[in-house]
Chains A and B, each alone.
Chain A
């Protein structure tokens, strides 16, 4: 039964990915042309001969969608062929193999995303449990107000504010940059991780608090209390455990994206991860890299959804995958 379910989800996912690839191709070439890509790669002073040769060397001299003489010899067909065979080719911006860029970028992305994930989630759950435990006290009200405030502030403000206060004014951490050497890596990660945790905390605490408060009012929690369980035990064993499904929804889907990095944090803090690679690809008109990142992002999204469904069934025996 589960195999049929998985097969169906994979097929749906495949269709979605094809749609994403088609949409990306259409949107990208609506706003730019192969000439722009060539000019961006070779510079403003490049003569027309060099631009034309560049297009030939990179396959951008072919008809875009339809070639009556050779239907498969088009940019669109090449686009699908490359993606579906995982032959990503070279970057349009600098001709470096995209697989190499991916390999180089995963480390920095994970070194930011993993501590961020590991700190953000337990902290948000712990604070949410605390405010749920102290609901309708000043802590709860202050906590909710701070959460709403935290959610309302743009991530950019956290980044710029963090850089200004912690990097420039207090001189605790480097304002930006990255260095994988063990002697200095913590210096560079401290600020983006702190900013990432701060910016995500409001939303996380508010969401988990709602889940926990709803769970606290359920019969089984009242029964546990009636049986004489301490409040701590009630919160951990009866509330948290039964609130796992909404937590999993947030968590499992986020796991695959740890690899693709954070667009904003990586870009603003100069961390050479996959998020920054995507932003660079957009800025450089680097279609080859951009489509690879979008493709990988779509695949990971589908994977995340399937994993979430599986984890539902795992933690809640009432859920059946059909």
Chain B
């Protein structure tokens, strides 16, 4: 009996200690920490491989890039990052183009034991041009298997380096055992990457590719120390480089328990911290932005011109489920959050914060993403494709005229997005706000007329005497996916076209796409960089899916291709805009796509978070963020007082139920 009492007391003490919904140690309350959550763990932190948003969430702040996007200005503008100035671009007579890069001379890598490999006892070293060259060689290394290797093959000698390295490695275990920098040196490096001095290098492209500058703003081309790659090889209990990044960014990875928590801590070796007096463009808070940035608090004089970063730490907590994560955000334990569908109406009223959220002093940050979702036609299909000639074209036009993008967004996305009129989203050069695509409005009568002209009066296929039967192929077999596809099927049924949803497992769908056995599909594209080329190439014949590219519609039009190449190489300006208009005109008539919408991200941000302007591109903005720690602690305490009366009520109920039972037991015992 005594033991039972002791156990009960222990249990109550444990429950007393446990009784708090604060997921962080109390000692964290006073630290300048930003708390975020993630739903899926990063797959890799190797900047040569990382390509997903969640990978970039960590890789971005750890690896500073050569160039970066201006935090506030839109349209997007590139500014120097690790470079002293924008690259000097020189076209050569033989068609090659040289990018001349000059690195800052005050750069250091973050502290890490790996540097003892180069200099015994060293924990860091200056960043040099050879580190950029080393990273470019890693992109060419088949063992690294970088997803951007085909893009980087535009660098002169890139593929040749790959071939030489592969040949040297073939069956030669001794060569494979050599240090990675020695292997690359033996393979002779990339001809088109020339290190001219400690901080200078040239990159020679085989052909004009102005978009290369955007790749310099991605972590793929960030300097990486050979010591880190050589040291963190996964042997002798050491991490792999993919989970132990060593970079030059404003933050360093302090904890990587990716199935639970990731912590970034301020990097004391970052050039902006070591040399605040230099006022490097990406190392101080900007003074210019969009017209309404000041009103939104993003040009607060308290921050303008101050050296970055403001935070001491950023904690990322794994929370796979939407609802618990959003609840924790509302409790004040996450500082930013997306808005889950289930709570959208509670949070947003007519595009603005609801009174309830306003009372909680929330901020709502909306941004149209540089992305597009569309329905594509397989242009190689004999019925809907190019082979059907004018009939096929009119059929595609008719089908385009019945899809109401706004209604789709209202039903399935809480209205988050803007109806797409062309391939190019807002914020990207070539987007024209006033342009209205004549085939992207709902006009049933015109659609029926076009269908009649296509030889399908009332949607009836004269060959069968029945409604024209098409298939809408998808790899999404979920009930939710089916509902979405049904929306389009219902729209087409209004003009008599019978579209069947062919939902199969994703691999079967991929197989269909590979074989060209599909008619209609729905797809999306998120830009790698803010340039119209990154959208229009989705319809360039050389990007065809059958050739391994992303042009799943298999659209091929010599006029479009010719204009594309001119547009690709032209600088932003009236001429380029005119070319884009011409390309848009071709797509308008040919209709390989039914452009649906450009999604709009809605972020909820607590009032204690400062400088949370969304960037849109996958480039880290953590160094600009700040939190008011005192206000957060106050609000958390106010919002999370435990409700204790149900515990007493339960206890009372238990006594009422148990007391007679105990009496009976005692009686029986006697």
Contact = CB atoms under 8 A, between A and B. Distances in A.
Nearest to B505: A31
A105 B259 CA distance: 9
Contact of A231 (B147, B325, B331, B669): B669
Contacts of A134: 661, 664-665, 668
A184 B668 contact: no
B141 to A, nearest CB: 10
B243 interface: yes
A183 B25 contact: yes
A138 B658 CA distance: 11
A45 B149 contact: no
Contacts of B240: 95-96
Contacts of B510: 35-36, 39
A14 B260 CA distance: 35
Contact of A188 (B23, B44, B52, B150): B23
B19 A173 contact: yes
A133 interface: yes
A32 B18 contact: no
Interface stretch (B85-93, B295-303, B376-384, B641-649): B641-649
A192 to B, nearest CB: 11
Given A42-B51, A49-B150, A95-B240, A272 B507 contact: no
Interface in A251-280: 267-268, 270, 272, 276-277, 280
A174 B669 contact: no
Contacts, number: 170
Given A50-B149, A139-B661, A167 B642 contact: no
B265 interface: no
Contacts of B142: 53
Contacts of A277: 259
B18 A272 contact: no
Given A170-B643, A232-B669, A276-B259, A35 B507 contact: yes
A228 interface: no
Nearest to A232: B669
A190 B18 contact: yes
Contacts of A46: 51, 147
B74 interface: no
Contacts of A250: none
Contact of A95 (B24, B242, B331): B242
B23 A272 contact: no
A187 B546 CA distance: 54
Given A176-B321, A187-B22, A272-B260, A171 B664 contact: no
B668 A133 contact: yes
Contacts of A15: none
A230 interface: yes
Contacts of B17: 186-187
B410 interface: no
B225 to A, nearest CB: 21
B473 interface: no
Interface stretch (B180-188, B312-320, B447-455): B312-320
A156 to B, nearest CB: 11
B276 interface: no
B358 interface: no
B43 interface: yes
B317 A177 contact: yes
Nearest to A137: B664
A83 B404 CA distance: 54
Contacts of A272: 257, 259-260, 318
A187 B641 contact: no
A181 interface: yes
A240 interface: no
B243 A96 contact: yes
B544 to A, nearest CB: 12
B14 interface: yes
B22 A174 contact: yes
Contacts of A45: 51, 147, 528, 550
Interface string A218-235: 000000000000111000
Most buried by B among A168, A175, A232: A175
B155 to A, nearest CB: 16
B589 interface: no
Contacts of A188: 23
A277 B223 CA distance: 34
A179 interface: yes
Contacts of A280: 41, 259
Given A133-B665, A181-B25, A272-B318, A190 B15 contact: yes
B328 interface: yes
Interface residues on B, range: 35 or more
Interface string B504-518: 011100100000000
B343 interface: no
A217 interface: no
Contacts of B664: 134, 137, 139
A19 interface: no
Given A50-B149, A172-B642, A231 B23 contact: no
A178 interface: yes
B321 A186 contact: no
A33 B508 CA distance: 9
Nearest to A267: B320
Contact of B507 (A32, A41, A190): A32
B51 A171 contact: no
B324 interface: yes
Interface string B325-346: 1011001010000000000000
Contacts of B548: 47-49
A152 B328 CA distance: 30
Contact of B328 (A174, A186, A267): A174
A137 B661 CA distance: 9
A133 B548 CA distance: 73
Given A94-B41, A190-B15, A171 B669 contact: no
Contacts of B519: none
Nearest to A126: B4
A163 interface: yes
Nearest to B510: A35
Interface string B647-670: 000000000010011001100110
A170 B18 contact: no
A168 B639 CA distance: 11
B640 interface: yes
A163 B421 CA distance: 44
B25 A186 contact: no
A31 B477 CA distance: 13
Contact of A57 (B143, B261, B640): B143
A116 interface: no
A97 interface: yes
A57 B664 CA distance: 71
Interface string A164-206: 0001111111111111010110111110000000000000000
B23 A97 contact: no
Q: In the A-B complex, list the 3 residue pairs whose CB atoms are closest, starting with the nearest.
A: A272-B259, A190-B18, A186-B18
28 contacts: A35-B507, A39-B510, A42-B49, A42-B145, A42-B147, A45-B51, A53-B145, A94-B44, A133-B668, A137-B661, A139-B660, A167-B327, A170-B642, A170-B643, A171-B642, A172-B20, A176-B319, A176-B325, A178-B260, A179-B25, A184-B25, A186-B14, A187-B19, A189-B18, A231-B669, A270-B319, A272-B259, A272-B260
Interface of A: 31-33, 35-36, 39, 41-43, 45-50, 53-54, 57, 93-97, 104-105, 108, 130, 133-134, 137-139, 142, 163, 167-179, 181, 183-184, 186-190, 230-232, 267-268, 270, 272, 276-277, 280
Interface of B: 14-15, 17-26, 41-44, 49, 51-52, 142-143, 145-147, 149-150, 234, 240, 242-243, 257, 259-261, 317-321, 323-325, 327-328, 331, 333, 505-507, 510, 528, 548, 550, 640-643, 646, 657, 660-661, 664-665, 668-669
Given A43-B52, A43-B147, 11 more contacts: A36-B506, A43-B51, A53-B145, A93-B43, A172-B642, A174-B22, A175-B327, A176-B321, A179-B24, A179-B25, A188-B23
